Structure 1
Amino acid sequence: MSECLGTYLVVRLFGALSIGFSDGSQLRIPGGRQKALVALLASAPDMRRNRAWLIDKLWSDSDPVRGRANLRQLLHAVKQTFGAEFQDLFEVATDTIGLRPGCVELRGNPEDGELLEGFDLAQEGFEDWLRDQRQSVAGRAALFAQSVPQPTQTVLPRIVVWPFGEIAQAARSGIGDALAHEITSGFARSQLIDAISHFSARAVADGHGAPMSSADSLKADYAVTGQCRQINDSLTVSVTLYDLTAQRAIWSDTHKIGFRGFLAGDDTLVGHVVGQSLRLIMSRSVAASVTIPLPRLQAHSLMMSGVSLMHAFEYPYFRRAEAQLREVARRCRGHSEPLAWLAQWHLLRVFQKWSPDPEEDRRQARAAIAAALDLNPVCPLSLAIDGNIHTILYGDFESAARRFSAAQAINPSSAMINHLASVLATFRGEGTEAVRLTERAYALSPRDPRQPFFQTLSAGSYVVGGRYGQAVEMAEASLRRNPNHLSAHRCRVIGLQLGGREVEARTAAAELLLVDPGLTVSNYLRDHPAGQSDLGNRLGDALKKAGIPAN
């Protein structure tokens, strides 16, 4: 309590909620929301919460304008309750509200009783948060874990794209700088890597490709650079990807494209450079995770490896991803992304029928995504995965739509968010919207390393959109890389049957039963989020006609 010059606040969260001062006096706080506000702030990792997050928990049904007004009124009431101590104990900013950690002491532990035992606030958001915290042993322990100094680690690798050198006519066009800007934007849209701002890279570069040593000032792990040679309408681009830790080039290639086409928006080159670079970085991370013990691997390598393995749809690889993501979450406790990916891992284990206890995996998914959003309630990846969980595990399409809307408002250029939002539109039977989101996602990241997984999601969109030929093409492309992906098999069967290719559909159905021998139409409809809708009946009927047993 050395940071606090006067009386400090003492809060007990386990057992009955208790709020008092260090001199032993108890604080009489009128109203459940004032108490809930203190409890929500005290339980945050840094004792600070985003205003929007607090509004969602304390006034779950309010519109944003009314919610903000309610929060202002509540803060005024809290000021009156705490009096002169308010300024010493609370930190109020435009977007956040917090307690001063140096002026607050948390006492007690889970052995004292249930978290906020006997406390009740009839708001859906608060009740969901409290239930998730009570169910999550890890979440409860984290509230009172001793603070262990951790080395500063980044969750994602950092990449810098230097302005490309310019030769011949390109020297007068500025194409090298424009190309670097587009490639940087491509990396940023992937959400798999931290792309250092183009303006920062340009400030460090000398205009003809910066030396590798200058990357130290930007703390980059990888760098992309190259040269452009323009002769009339022909543009030749050489590109090299460097591993800056190893101080060596790991990929190099040369491309010829039309100069006018590039200026008109042809981004095939950009998509290729971004996609190939990400594939190499991910594959190297996976390879390192096999040969190097987890404690010796950098957190960002573990993160890339875990995300890659969880989308491989081969169970031995998939199983390894969990340990890697948990290790990243343990090391990087202030980051929401590892927890969000861990939630997605549990979702996929249920959906792929690999879970020995689906209810436990559902609980783990909910607890992980709740913890992620507690850390950062405006993380677009966490919001999107929460939307995916509400879509697939709970069939709560309205809540899912709100999560996706929030995620897209923050980051409208994320391919991942658009792909996951397309699943919601698919299950709602909104074919046109599902296809629109799918095609926008591909435009944003045309050569994403997770493409086989995204192809399966796209196959579902095309089925509901009535574009059965494209649905089959996408499903078969996914199965060439991930032959055990059950959803891709199902989309292939349904696309063939609804597209009038009944003989091929029966062959595909027989192949589906080889990888999912217990599948019946009745359990498919039971487990499908849209199983009780007209869409579910249409999909189930297609499976039945193709040869999947009814019961």
Structure 2
Amino acid sequence: MGQCVNNKLTNYPNTKTPNKHEKTLSDMDETTVDSTYKLNICGSFRVVSPNGERLEVVSKKARAILAILALSPNLERQRGWLMDRLWGSREKCQAQASLRHELSTLRKIFGPPDTSPIEIRRDCVRLIKDRIHVDALEGDADGELLEGIDIVGEDGFEDWLRTARSATMQPAHRNPLLHRLSGAIAPCHTIKIGLQNVMTAPEDMRAATTGNILLGKITHFFMEFGGFEVVDLRGPDQNTAPCVIPDVYLQLFAQSNDLRVEISLNLLRSSDKSIIWSQVRHIPVTEQGNITDWSLANELSDQIFTKLAAQPEQFSTEPHLAAALAVQGINSMFSLTARNLDLSDKSFALACDLNESSSILAWRAYLGAHWMEEQDSCEREDILARTYEYAERALALDPYNGLTLSLLSFVSAFVFRDFEQATELIDRAHMVQSDHVMTHDAQALLLLYKGDLVAARKSAMKAAMLGRFLPHRYAFVTTLCMIDTLNGDYRSGIRNGNLALSLQPKNTGKYYPPTLRYLGACYAQMGQIGRARETFGQLARVEPHLSSAIIGTQEYPVPSAQAANVIGNSLLLCDL
């Protein structure tokens, strides 16, 4: 992952003004040969060569590939993405062979690479913009996208086609979704959150200060996640009509009461000012008026985020749907159900199709760590390649997003074992003052891998406190169990390990592998061999090849040599 922080822009558009000796477009001879292919993907499918010859593309999936590329950002897609959409029901080796066959067919149809409108690389496929004219992108489409094309059994393709058909029903210049699908320059569509003045008694400065700090922390959460825009309307001229109309407003009432500040926070719909979410809470303060626990900000942020994402139909368009899909992806990732990782990946993919953002791509890379926990070694290279791709794209979109940097710091350490890269990324997250729960968890795990257990525990405690209201809070308690294990505090490790198990989703038939790994080690080191074997037995359902022999190998998901020694020794004590 060493290259993924290299964010220098290398593809600047050519803006040089021609000098008097150069020909401009208007100077060109009118008889210049047109070297552009024409691709009609709406109505009757048709490909026409520069000399006017109609080219026969018989295969439905070859036609689908051309349409997908034409409507993709920068006219480009990764091979893995195409396989997921068009051969998602097949085994990987079959999908790879089928894609190679279709690409070989297209290569033969379009001829030599120096004039072909399609470029086929080892990892991706793209259309060359200057060599092809696509009806759907030029406002002259006539008919339904991929009319008559039906690929039975491929839900991923049907989902994509449904979204794309909706986009192509309008001319491209009127449809921002189509602009984004094609990679054209279009305004960034976000969910806009308006901040109103904190309402309190004029002399109650403690309440006003507390309320404004709370609003700042909540809005920082949304800005880090991506897909949201904060419209700050606070100030003496709040009643003046804003230049940007928010989708929702945050309204906060605050009042000091002894050693606490009572707050009432409302989320209002912009269209009719109706309250769609509301909470009344108390924030404890010291005698000096200082607030020592801001975990409430994370709890409220998560509730507002879930409300906005869970009911996208109450607002406007696809940004809300993208946010909903992102939440589904995160929840599925940590749900510990049989197909949770597949469902998570599909949710993230659909969210990126609608509104690709740095943080959603970073979550997709983070998902790679969960894949590494469960997949056989034969899948390792594919997981590494996909994870690297998502990490690169995430940083290219926003190299200073605190959540992105935090998630990718963990990915660098856990997936790629690049602790230097991980340290650089987490340092940048702190530089932009990220206080996200994932920042503290990533910091704790990185310090654990590097052997600084005292500092690791401090960060882990912060993450556990901030994340105690999140559905995946068991992961933060598991980090504490891991630190206890390496510290030799096996009693605390057993306590935190069992707490983490109690916080995990019930009746899924599946447990979080790191919890079992370190809890089993604690039992073994305490001499409770029966419980250790039982715990490792549950782990073996996820890791059927579990044994002391594989601990410490590059493939086993334990980046710390100290952790590998403790777990390996514990398995030996259990005769495993």
TM-score (norm 2): 0.60
Q: Which amino acid aligns with 2:569?
A: D
Secondary structure at the residue paired with 1:300? helix
What does 1:477-488 align with in structure 2 at a 5 Å threshold? Answer: 477-479=499-501, 480-482=503-505, 483-488=510-515
* More helix, by proportion: 1
Counterpart secondary structure, 2:265: strand
Distance in 1 between residues matched to 2:530 and 2:311, nearest whole Å? 42
Q: What is the rounded CA distance, in whole Å, between the counterparts of 1:159 and 1:225 in structure 2?
A: 11
2:105 maps to what in 1? none
CA contact (8 A) 1:355 1:361 kept: no
Change (3 A) 1:245 1:442: farther
Q: Does 1:536 align with 2:564?
A: yes
CA distance in 1, matches of 2:298, 2:264: 14
Shift, 1:187, TM fit: 4.7
SS of alignment partner, residue 429 of structure 2: helix
Q: Who is 2:524 aligned against?
A: 497
The equivalent residue for 1:313 is 336
For 1:531 and 1:464, the matched residues in 2 are separated by 13
What displacement does 1:365 show? Answer: 0.7
User: In structure 2, how many angstroms separate the alpha carbons of the residues matched to 1:262 and 1:530?
Assistant: 45
Aligned to 2:339, the other structure's residue is in SS state: helix
RMSD after superposition? 4.4
Q: Tell me, yes or no, if the aligned pair for 1:189 and 1:445 is still in contact at 8 Å.
A: no
Q: CA deviation at 1:472?
A: 3.5
Give 1:256-275 correspondences, 5 Å limit: 256=282, 258=284, 260=286, 263-267=289-293, 270-272=294-296, 274-275=298-299
Structure 1 residue aligned with 2:361, among 319, 339, 343?
339
- How far apart, in 2, do the equivalents of 1:187 and 1:406 lie? 20
Distance 1:256 1:332 in 2: 36
State whether structure 2 residue 548 is matched by structure 1 residue 521: yes
Q: 1:232 to 1:460 in 2, by over 3 A?
A: closer
Q: C-alpha offsets along residues 6-49 of structure 1, whole Å, 9 cap, x if unaligned?
A: 169x9xxxxxxxxxxx99xxxxxxxxxxxxxxxxxxxxx99xxx
Q: Is 2:169 the partner of 1:137?
A: no
Q: Does 1:510 align with 2:537?
A: yes
**1:537 and 1:365, CA in 2 relative to 1: closer, same or farther beyond 3 A?**
same
Output the CA distance in 1 between the equivalents of 2:390 and 2:470. 25
CA contact (8 A) 2:192 2:230 kept: no
Percent identity (aligned): 15
TM-score (norm 1): 0.62
Query: Any idea what SS the aligned residue of 2:550 has?
Result: helix
Picking from 374, 391, 396, the partner of 1:369 is 391
Does structure 1 residue 302 correspond to structure 2 residue 329? no
- Aligned residue-pair number: 420
Q: What is the CA–CA distance in structure 2 between the aligned matches of 1:248 and 1:462, rounded to whole Å?
A: 49
Amino acid at match of 1:239: L
Measured at CA, do residues 246 and 281 of structure 1 come closer, stay the same or move farther in structure 2, by a change above 3 Å?
Answer: farther
1:131-154 per-residue CA deviation (whole Å, 9 max, x = no partner) reads xxxx5316x669989886236444
Q: 1:179 aligns with which of 208, 211, 217?
A: 211
Residues 251, 189 of structure 1: CA spacing in aligned structure 2 closer, same or farther, 3 A cutoff? closer
Q: 1:414 to 1:540 in 2, by over 3 A?
A: same
Is 2:225 the counterpart of 1:192? yes
Amino acid corresponding to residue 432 of structure 2 in structure 1? I
User: What secondary structure does 1:346 align onto?
Assistant: helix
Q: Counterparts in 2 of 1:128-527, with a 5 A limit? A: 135-137=122-124, 149-150=179-180, 152-154=187-189, 157-166=191-200, 171-189=203-221, 191-192=224-225, 200-203=232-235, 219-233=245-259, 235-242=261-268, 244=270, 248-256=274-282, 258=284, 260=286, 263-267=289-293, 270-272=294-296, 274-279=298-303, 281-282=305-306, 285=309, 298-332=321-355, 335-353=357-375, 357-442=379-464, 447-448=469-470, 450-479=472-501, 480-482=503-505, 483-498=510-525, 501-526=528-553, 527=555
CA distance in 1, matches of 2:325, 2:288: 36
Structure 1: runs of 5+ lacking an equivalent: 11-21, 24-44, 47-106, 115-134
Deviations 1:402-442 (A, max 9, x none): 33333333345333223113222222333123213223434
Shift of 1:175: 0.7
Q: Does structure 2 conserve the Cα–Cα contact (< 8 Å) formed by 1:164 and 1:225?
A: yes
Alignment of 1:29-68 (within 5 A): none
Whole-Å Cα distance in 2 between the matches of residues 277 and 320 of structure 1? Answer: 24
Aligned to 2:292, the other structure's residue is in SS state coil
Paired residue type of 2:205:
S
Cα distance in 1 between the residues matched to 2:474 and 2:561: 28
Q: How far is the alpha carbon of 1:185 from its aligned partner?
A: 1.4
> Equivalent residue of 2:375, what SS?
coil
- The residue aligned with 1:64 is none
Structure 2 CA distance for aligned equivalents of residues 386 and 258 of structure 1: 34
CA distance in 2, matches of 1:438, 1:515: 26
Label 1:397 to 1:236 Cα distance change in 2 as closer, same or farther (>3 A): closer
Greater CA drift, 236-245 or 383-392? 236-245
Structure 2: 5+ residue stretches without partners = 1-12, 23-27, 30-72, 75-113, 138-177, 181-185
Distance in 2 between the 1:306 and 1:408 partners? 26
Give the deviation of 1:366 after TM superposition.
Answer: 0.9
